[in-house]
């Protein structure tokens, strides 16, 4: 996952944060180290080093005394990071090489935002849902990626891959088939995950059995952030969260996946596990408001109050555009306009 993007001269020229800023890490303090690194390297070579659980990658543009920096998770492949870092520098040089960078304001570089958004999509986090058959993985996947979510869906033999856009971030959601006949593939599918969510039906038998996946995560995705979603918490034999955490050693979140209102709860789990920035997390409030408005629109249609329906549809469309969900925004805007033609 791409967490931060920086362009540094003597001061910060441009920056974007998709996750919370790294603790105790000052980009500017690394400038001399980065420049020294490039004394012995060709100008086009990308440098990289690991900083706790993150990978710092950088490339210099000596003609403008600039350094381009990406902060990623350790799960990201360096080859992929290099491709995007070269691309970012090229876009910048095409736009600004003839200008005096030192005389520009930070606002002059906002034109880079769409490029950075596209790079984030290329380096989006992989979230894997694992667990044995019957625990509710597919129900949770459908809760996350329903018809109201901006998504691209790709089914395959042993599961489903869905590209989601939640707020300003893209995610890749992998839902693995939990049947034993696909068990020989589980290790390959988990590999490269940024987050692995182990789904349990909250019974003692399943929690104990699911220790298999915990060991698999340690072996195949050692840098992944992992947690348990304790589904079916409404059933009488469900273990409480504290007991599940004690048995598994993983942070555990409660869930009743059959309730649509819990979609926002799952998004908050993503935000918590990935340590997302407040800017990204704040869009969840808009998602909650959108869900409420959709319920109001259904009621207005049921009561044949079409004027009120168009007002609500326009509000929903506005929220969608604000959080970057253009596809759904256009859909509700079009619906509102069609109804208005008959009023």
- Spell out the long-range contacts of 29-38 with Cβ–Cβ below 8 A and sequence spacing 24 or more: 30/56, 31/67, 34/58, 34/60, 34/67, 34/69, 35/60, 35/67, 38/62
Give the pLDDT confidence score for residue 188 in this predicted structure: 83
- CATH number, domain 2-122: 3.30.450.50
Give the pLDDT confidence score for residue 144 in this predicted structure: 80
Terminal-to-terminal C-alpha distance of the chain: 48
CA dihedral 106, 108, 110, 112 (to 10 degrees): -110
Give the pLDDT confidence score for residue 306 in this predicted structure: 93
CATH 3.40.50.300 location in the chain: 126-277
Options 2.30.30.30, 3.20.20.140, 3.40.50.300, 2.60.120.200; CATH of 126-277: 3.40.50.300
**pTM (2 d.p.):** 0.78
Give the pLDDT confidence score for residue 5 in this predicted structure: 95
Give the pLDDT confidence score for residue 149 in this predicted structure: 55
CATH 3.30.450.50 location in the chain: 2-122
Give the pLDDT confidence score for residue 226 in this predicted structure: 95
Specify the length of the chain in residues: 343
Q: Please give the Cα distance from 110 to 113 (Å, whole number).
A: 5
Structure tokens belonging to residue 343: 């009023």
Structure tokens belonging to residue 59: 């490339």
Show the DSSP H helices in 277-340 as ranges.
278-281, 283-302, 306-322, 326-340
pLDDT tens for the chain, 343 residues: list them. Answer: 999 999 998 788 999 988 887 766 677 667 766 666 654 455 557 888 888 889 999 998 888 889 999 999 999 999 999 999 999 999 999 999 887 777 778 788 999 999 999 999 999 999 999 998 888 888 888 888 765 555 565 656 666 788 888 777 889 988 876 565 667 778 888 999 999 999 999 999 999 999 999 999 999 999 999 999 999 998 999 999 999 999 999 999 998 877 777 777 888 888 889 988 656 656 666 777 888 899 899 999 999 999 999 999 999 999 888 766 777 889 999 999 999 998 8
Query: Which residues 6+ apart lie within 8 Å of 42 measured at CB?
Result: none
Query: Which residues 6+ apart lie within 8 Å of 206 measured at CB?
Result: 132, 135, 200
């Amino acid at each position: 996952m791409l967490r931060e993007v920086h362009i540094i001269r003597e001061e910060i020229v441009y920056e974007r944060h998709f996750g919370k800023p790294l603790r105790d890490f000052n980009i500017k303090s690394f400038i001399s180290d980065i420049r020294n690194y490039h004394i012995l390297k060709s100008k086009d070579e990308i440098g990289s080093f690991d900083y706790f659980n993150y990978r710092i990658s950088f490339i210099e543009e000596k003609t403008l005394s600039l350094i381009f920096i990406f902060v990623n998770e350790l799960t990201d492949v360096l080859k992929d990071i290099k491709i995007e870092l070269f691309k970012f520098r090229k876009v910048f040089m095409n736009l600004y090489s003839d200008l005096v960078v030192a005389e520009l304001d930070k606002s002059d570089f906002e034109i880079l935002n769409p490029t950075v958004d596209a790079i984030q999509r290329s380096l989006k986090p992989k979230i894997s849902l694992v667990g044995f058959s019957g625990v509710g993985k597919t129900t949770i996947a459908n809760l996350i990626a329903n018809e109201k979510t901006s998504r691209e869906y790709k089914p395959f033999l042993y599961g489903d891959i869905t590209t989601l856009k939640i707020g300003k971030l893209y995610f890749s959601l992998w839902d693995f088939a939990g049947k034993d006949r696909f068990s020989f593939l589980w290790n390959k599918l988990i590999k490269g995950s940024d987050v692995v969510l182990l789904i349990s039906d909250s019974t003692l038998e399943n929690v104990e059995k699911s220790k298999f996946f915990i060991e698999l995560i340690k072996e195949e995705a050692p840098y992944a952030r992992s947690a348990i979603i304790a589904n079916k918490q409404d059933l009488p034999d469900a273990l409480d969260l504290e007991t599940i955490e004690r048995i598994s050693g993983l942070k555990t979140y409660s869930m009743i996946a059959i309730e649509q209102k819990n979609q926002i709860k799952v998004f908050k789990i993503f935000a918590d596990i990935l340590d997302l920035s407040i800017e990204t997390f704040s869009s969840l409030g808009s998602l909650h408001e959108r869900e409420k408005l959709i319920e109001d629109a259904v009621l207005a249609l049921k009561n044949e109050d079409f004027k009120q329906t168009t007002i609500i549809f326009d509000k929903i469309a506005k929220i969608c555009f604000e959080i970057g969900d253009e596809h759904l925004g256009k859909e509700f805007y079009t619906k509102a306009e069609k109804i208005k033609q008959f009023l």
